[in-house]
Amino acid sequence: RMDEKHKTVLKGLRPFIVQNLGFIMGIIDILFSKEVLCEDEKDTIVAEKTPQQQIRCLLDTLPRRGENAFPSFIEALKETGNEHIVKKLEQQGEGASCSPT
């Protein structure tokens, strides 16, 4: 299960992430390749009509995807040029470890 601290950080920054996340498809592809998302979840997210709805769906799915979901999400954000979101997540987590174990 995802760490409660990580869940809280994602929930707290949800509006910021929805408004500021770029290149959602790249993030979905990375999380799928790392097996954080299964095919059904990927299809469900991609089926959403707008990028904002896709991001919301992804944020709803991540907490159910285990302890590697948060660090993998951080990595995917970095790989897709969303460092501004990583910075905000790390600040909000007050040093919650964002690096993969």
Give the pLDDT confidence score for residue 26 in this predicted structure. 97
- DSSP letter assigned to residue 82: -
Determine whether 96 is exposed, middle or buried from the number of CB atoms within 10 Å of its CB (0-12, 13-18, 19+). Answer: middle
pLDDT at 96: 47
Helix, strand, coil percentages, rounded to 5, for the chain: 70, 0, 30
In the prediction, which pLDDT does 94 show? 65
Report, as ranges of residue numbers, the positions in the chain whose pLDDT lies below 50. Answer: 96-101
Q: How far apart are CA 27 and CA 93, in angstroms?
A: 21
Could you report the per-residue pLDDT of 11-32, keeping only the tens digit for each?
Answer: 999 999 999 999 999 999 999 9
